[in-house]
Chain A
């Protein structure tokens, strides 16, 4: 059991009028990269929120790092939210946002010691030069790096990302994937990423969770990305799901 980072048993989440997740059962091993793929409204973000302890399941249990949601420390997890949720009217600097990763509170001022740790984290994601630029002046890709620095500064055992590549150009996306892959290797971290990008899921993930309220498939990318499973997840859309993945999935 000790090699399982996230264990989910009979998990269901029901909102007032509909069920978001139905009877999910899976075990995510330590040190693996899991991509969550599914159509809009499939419960992907809900699943992340259950992992983060923001939503309590109506049925079933979830154990993260062997702990229940109530026992989990916020420092056990690194979370990169969708950047579209950012309030651009809030006066803030990247260095302040990253400091919330360190101290779990909004800073009035940043001390010398914290400043060094924050700058190291920003340098690691290639955003050292952005430390004191107003947050609302940053591009989507730059913001994503800041959020990544905020998550990684905790050196979390589990990194949770919600569509980190959305709204980012191809080079920026490659770069962010490189940072995530390096972090995974250096810290034997477990990565959970919601993505719409099948290609990146295929190439970067050790496991793919195909989700559409139910877990259609939780397996290695080459086994998950089959016509049958994709049809079950996304439904028949009048054409065969073309698999255009090039090259081998890299371990």
Chain B
């Protein structure tokens, strides 16, 4: 077990796992309370379009996927705000466009695209040192939002209108949240994979919701579960040579099951 840490790829993966576990489970609480889980799914598929373009252009896919997904995120928020369409419809449209573009980009690349599979399912081996730098920078930004934005996002999640009457800039705050969410999804994709990243955002927060009585506790518990499940999932995935994303998600699912049982038992005890 210990020798795993002496290998640089595993060290990188573990550090990245802890950071993306923290960020995605932190943003996940807002996703869950605002019923935006489809947004996570939509942005993950937008990331696929970006990754595919990166592969086609023979550059590091992350550098293309980040702006690509940010544009999709702004597009979704704009469509929702400026038209009569609901957010699910806006997400559905940009989701489809991004996947269609991704498929076209990959088909234009005539050579073998093994990279694309790593992005679809997640891989410990795929985390590079440059990815780690981006992750650390975003981790610091996310940590800073805890002080400036958490209480505003929380207030808006509770009641958008009430927050507006207190002059919280709810629309601007939405853009900030959705852009940070887009970047978090892109950098989580390498470990977790495009297919499962939406679940990665939602499960720790949903588990925390079941056991927490206040939104702050929900946030702290969600972050703890996100980090723990990333570490445990990465270890298991390394030991049994399993895809990292799927393993992390199954660890989260086990935690979620325990939360459901805990909630049921404590509800019965209080009767």
Residues of A within 8 A of B (CB): 52-54, 74, 77, 79, 81, 85-87, 89-93, 96-97, 100, 104-109, 134
**Chain B facing A: main interface SS:** helix
Shortest CB–CB separation between residue B221 and chain A, in angstroms? 10
- The smallest beta-carbon distance between B42 and chain A, in angstroms, is 21
Are B158 and A105 within 8 A (Cβ)? no
Query: What are 10 pairs between A and B in contact, CB < 8 Å?
Result: A53-B165, A77-B165, A89-B33, A90-B158, A91-B212, A96-B215, A104-B167, A105-B152, A105-B166, A106-B155
Least CB distance from B215 to A in Å reads 5
Q: Do residues A96 and B162 form an inter-chain contact, with CB atoms below 8 A?
A: no
CB neighbours of B212 from chain A (8 A): 91
Tell me which of A53, A74, A107 contacts B151 (CB under 8 A): A107
The residue in chain A whose Cβ has the minimal distance to the Cβ of B156 is A106
Do the beta carbons of A85 and B213 come within 8 Å of each other?
no
A91 touches B217 (CB 8 A): yes
CB pair A105–B165 under 8 Å, yes or no, is no
> Per-residue 0/1 for B166-181: is the Cβ within 8 Å of any A Cβ (1 yes, 0 no)?
1110000000000000
Q: Are B166 and A54 in contact, with the CB atoms below 8 A?
A: no
Contact between B214 and A96 (Cβ–Cβ < 8 Å)?
yes
- Docked-complex contact B165 and A74, CB < 8 angstroms: yes
Q: Is the CB of A100 within 8 A of B166?
A: yes
* Nearest CB in chain A: distance from B254 CB, A: 22
A106 touches B154 (CB 8 A): yes
Given contacts A79-B165, A90-B215, 13 further A-B contacts (CB under 8 A): A81-B159, A87-B159, A89-B33, A90-B157, A91-B215, A91-B217, A91-B218, A92-B158, A100-B162, A106-B152, A106-B155, A108-B151, A134-B213
Q: Is there an interface contact between A105 and B214, defined as CB atoms closer than 8 Å?
A: no
Q: Is B209's CB within 8 Å of the partner chain A?
A: yes
Q: Does B88 sit within 8 A of A, measured CB to CB? A: no
Chain B contacts for A104, CB-based, 8 A: 166-168
| Residue in A86, A93, A105, A109 whose beta carbon sits within 8 Å of that of B155 in the complex | A105
Bound-complex Cα distance A83 to B151 (A): 22
**CB proximity of B173 to chain A, nearest CB, Å:** 12
B residues near A109, Cβ cutoff 8 Å: 216
A108 touches B150 (CB 8 A): yes
Q: B interface vs A, CB < 8 Å?
A: 33, 150-152, 154-155, 157-159, 161-162, 164-168, 209, 212-218
Cross-chain contact B167 with A107 (CB below 8 angstroms): no
Given known contacts A90-B33, A106-B155, is B164 in contact with A54 (CB within 8 Å)? yes
Q: A91-B212, A91-B214, A93-B213 are in contact. Are A85 and B161 (CB under 8 A)?
A: yes
Minimum-distance CB pairs A-B, first 5:
A106-B154, A104-B166, A105-B151, A106-B155, A108-B216
Q: Is the CB of B214 within 8 A of A93?
A: yes
**B215 contact set on A, CB distance < 8 A:** 90-92, 96, 106
Contacts of B217 in A (CB 8 A): 91
CA distance A53 to B152 in the complex (A): 18
User: Which residues of A have CB within 8 Å of B209?
Assistant: 89, 91
When C-beta atoms are compared, the residue in chain A nearest to B219 turns out to be A108
Report Cα–Cα, A91/B208, bound state, in Å. Answer: 10
- What are the residues of chain B within 8 A of A89 when measuring CB–CB? 33, 209
A224 to B254, CA, bound (A): 64
Partner of A100, one of B155, B157, B161, B213: B155
Is A74's CB under 8 angstroms from B166's CB?
yes
Please give the distance in Å from A234's CB to the nearest CB on chain B: 27
B159 near A91 with CB under 8 A, answer no
**In chain B, what residue has the closest Cβ to A75?**
B166
Query: CA A100 – CA B216 in complex, angstroms?
Result: 14
Complex contacts, A85 vs chain B, CB 8 Å: 159, 161
A53 to B168, CA, bound (A): 12
Contacts of B164 in A (CB 8 A): 54
In the assembled complex, the Cα of A54 lies from the Cα of B161 at a distance in Å of 8
CA distance A89 to B166 in the complex (A): 22
A87 to B155, CA, bound (A): 12
Of A77, A106, A108, which one neighbours B158 at CB under 8 angstroms? Answer: A106
Given contacts A105-B151, A107-B151, contact A87 B216 (CB under 8 A): no
Tell me the complex Cα distance, A100–B159, Å: 11
State A54–B163 Cα separation when bound (angstroms): 10
Please, how many angstroms separate the alpha-carbon atoms of A81 and B209 in the complex? 25
A74 and B167 in contact, given A105-B155, A108-B216, A134-B213 (Cβ under 8 angstroms): yes
